Chain A
Amino acid sequence: MKELITGAEALMRSLEHQGVKTLFGYPGGSIMPVFDALYDHRSTLHHILVRHEQGATHAAQGFARTSGQVGVCLVTSGPGATNTITGIADAMIDSTPIVVIAGQVGTAFLGSDAFQEVDLVGITQPISKWSYQIRRAEDVPYAVARAFYIAASGRPGPVVLDFAKNAQVEKIEYEPLSIDFVRSYVPVPDTDSMSVIRAAEYINKAKKPLVLAGQGVELGGAQDELRRFIEKAQLPVGCTLLGLSVLSSEHPLNMGMLGMHGNLATNVKTNECDVLIAVGMRFDDRVTGNLATYARQAKVIHFDIDPSEINKNVKADVAVLGDCKQTLRAVTELLVPTDHKEWIASFEPYRRKEMEKVIEPEIHPAAGPLNMGEVVRAVSEAAHHEAVLVTDVGQNQMMSARYFKYTRNRSIVTSGGLGTMGFGLPAAVGATFAVPDRTVCVFMGDGGLQMNLQELGTVMEQKAPVKMILLNNNYLGNVRQWQAMFFHRRYSFTPMLNPDYMKIAEAYGIPSRRVIDRADLHAAIAEMLTTDGPFFLEACVVEEGNVLPMTPPGNSVDEMLLEC
Chain B
Amino acid sequence: MEKTLYTLIVYSENIAGLLNQITAVFTRRQINIESLNVSASSIKGVHKYTITAWIDEENIKKIVSQIEKKIDVLQAHYFTDDEIFSHEIALYKLSTPVLEKDPRVSALIRRYNARVVEVNPTYSALEKDGATEDIISLHDELQKLGCVLQFVRSGRIALTKSCVERVNEFLADREARYLQHKNEKA
Interaction A to B: yes
Instruction: Say whether B65 contacts A308, CB under 8 Å.
Output: yes
Known contacts: A126-B28, A308-B65. The answer to whether A184 contacts B72 by CB under 8 A is: yes
User: At the interface with chain A, which of B13-21, B48-56, B152-160?
Assistant: B13-21
User: Which A residues are CB-close (under 8 A) to B20?
Assistant: 122, 125
- B161-181 at interface with A (beta carbon < 8 Å): 171, 174-175, 177-178, 181
A-B residue pair count with CB separations less than 8 angstroms = 48
Instruction: Say whether A180 contacts B13, CB under 8 Å.
Output: no
CB-CB nearest in chain A for B11: A184
Instruction: Say whether A183 contacts B66, CB under 8 Å.
Output: no
User: Which A residues are CB-close (under 8 A) to B175?
Assistant: 183
* Contact of A326 with B by CB under 8 A: no
Known contacts: A122-B17, A308-B66, A311-B61. The answer to whether A129 contacts B71 by CB under 8 A is: yes
User: Which A residues are CB-close (under 8 A) to B174?
Assistant: 183
User: Which B residues are CB-close (under 8 A) to A126?
Assistant: 21, 24, 28
CB-CB nearest in chain B for A180: B181
User: Which B residues are CB-close (under 8 A) to A130?
Assistant: 71
* Contact of B73 with A by CB under 8 A: yes
* Contact of A493 with B by CB under 8 A: no
Q: Is the interface of B mostly helix, strand, loop or mixed?
A: helix
User: Which B residues are CB-close (under 8 A) to A129?
Assistant: 71
Instruction: Say whether B71 contacts A183, CB under 8 Å.
Output: no
With both chains docked as a complex, state the minimum distance between the C-beta of B68 and any C-beta of chain A, in angstroms: 7
A377 to B178, CA, bound (A): 51
A210 to B67, CA, bound (A): 32
User: Which A residues are CB-close (under 8 A) to B17?
Assistant: 121-122, 125, 131
* Contact of B104 with A by CB under 8 A: no
- CB 8 Å contact bits of A52-88 with B (1 = contact, 0 = none): 0000000000000000000000000000000000000
Instruction: Say whether A125 contacts B65, CB under 8 Å.
Output: no
* Contact of B62 with A by CB under 8 A: yes
* Contact of B12 with A by CB under 8 A: yes
10 contacts between A and B (CB under 8 A): A122-B20, A125-B21, A181-B178, A183-B171, A183-B175, A184-B71, A184-B73, A185-B71, A307-B68, A312-B65
Q: A residues touching B (Cβ–Cβ < 8 Å)?
A: 121-122, 125-126, 129-131, 150, 180-185, 306-308, 310-312
Given contacts A183-B178, A307-B69, 9 further A-B contacts (CB under 8 A): A125-B17, A125-B21, A125-B24, A129-B71, A130-B71, A182-B71, A184-B73, A185-B72, A311-B62
